[in-house]
Amino acid sequence: MVRRLNRQPDDAVSDLLRAVQVRSTVYCVSDLSAPWGFEVEDSTAAKFHLVLEGTCVLTLTSGEEIWLECGDLVLLPAGTGHMVRDRLDSPVRYLDGILAEFRADETAPLIYGGSGPSTRLVCGGFVLEDSLPSGLRRLGLLPPVLRLDVAASRLSRWLEPIFDLLRDEVEESRPGTNAILAKLADVFLSQVLRNFLVGAEASGIMLPGVFSDPAVARAVELLHAFPARSWTVAGLGAEVGMSRTLFGTRFRELVGEAPIHYLARVRLSQAAGYLTTTNATLYAIAQQTGYDSEASLSKAFKRTFGRSPGEYRRASLARPIRLAEAAPAR
């Protein structure tokens, strides 16, 4: 007897995920022995690092530090410049220079560093194809950097066997290894996108289309990129070259609400994303998203999402993965 799988009803997030076509490219598989460090320049190309073995620390040009462990995936959707090292005091070189000097064969793993503990990384870039709705592509719903913490996601149940396969692929240098790694990265990236899109939909910031006013579009970009800043209408207006009154009026006409109300939705959307992709404490998430305390974040979160942050995180962990939903469109 053939059993028919239950088909989930369509929703805005599913529609967007079907439109999102993630295309990943693996720049290098790196076997790095401490001490080691490399720097990646700021660019418009989105980047990612996947830790297959060991630990490391990623430092943004802003000074923010993100410690990574085996199984962590970190994304830099805006191509933000950064350093990756085994520890904070290790010397760094530009990655392009390291690749040119130490990897003659572009298909071979990069072996670099000293004689200490080892870390294995998959480093690459990704693009979102033109099928992505223009408003989402231009304004973005993702913060400048984010980490998928496997222990906090629903991927942990099937990740280890895949990691074992990846280790075998890398160690045996089989033909097509980079292509396999890129396809796996596609699924990881799609999972991260889904978690943030779910929060964006629930918080009400799934804006249709591209704004016709470049100044308002830039203001929305700033709110998404720096939600923790103490923004004011006058300050935002000044950033985009408009008076407070004109900016406030124009923003409300195009977005449908005042800038500070929209900022609150952005903060809650990103908080929801962090709850489902990391093990960060509620205090840490509050700090990242512009709330002065756990209590203030919890109150606003429950008012918008209908449940506390803890309940939202537990519900996310309990919800089974729909691989058809998470996998990128082809």
- Pick the more confident residue, 252 or 183: 252
The first and second tokens of residue 301, run together, are 């979160």
CB burial class (10 A; 0-12, 13-18, 19+) of residue 146? buried
Q: Kindly list the distances between the CA atom of residue 280 and the CA atoms of 61, 75, 284, 286, in Å, as whole numbers in the listed order.
A: 22, 16, 6, 10
Question: Would you say residue 136 has pLDDT above 70?
Answer: no
pLDDT, position 201:
74
CB 153 within 8 A of CB 41: no
Question: Would you say residue 58 has pLDDT above 80?
Answer: yes
Q: Give 297's pLDDT tier (boundaries 50, 70, 90).
A: very high
Q: Provide mean pLDDT across the span 261-290.
A: 90
Q: What is the tens place of the pLDDT at every residue in 181-207?
A: 787 777 777 777 777 777 777 777 766
Q: Give 282's pLDDT tier (boundaries 50, 70, 90).
A: very high
pLDDT, position 279:
75
Question: Would you say residue 298 has pLDDT above 90?
Answer: yes
Q: Give 141's pLDDT tier (boundaries 50, 70, 90).
A: low
Q: Provide mean pLDDT across the span 248-264.
A: 92
Q: Give 63's pLDDT tier (boundaries 50, 70, 90).
A: confident
Question: Would you say residue 140 has pLDDT above 70?
Answer: no
Q: Which residue has the tokens 């320049």?
A: 41
The pTM assigned to this predicted structure is 0.70
Q: In what order do the strands lie in the sheet with 82-85?
A: 65-68, 56-60, 82-85, 37-40, 93-94
Nearest to 49 by CA among 74, 31, 26, 23: 74
Question: Would you say residue 328 has pLDDT above 60?
Answer: no
The first and second tokens of residue 254, run together, are 């195009």
Range with the poorest average pLDDT among 56-70, 119-133, 144-158: 144-158
pLDDT, position 323:
34
Q: Report all structural domains of the chain as residue ranges with CATH numbers, in order of start.
A: 18-189 (2.60.120.10), 203-318 (1.10.10.60)
pLDDT, position 220:
87
Range with the poorest average pLDDT among 34-38, 117-121, 233-237, 254-258: 254-258
Report the alpha-carbon angle 107-55-318, nearest 5. 100
Question: Would you say residue 20 has pLDDT above 50?
Answer: yes
Numbers of helices and strands, H then E, in the chain = 13, 11
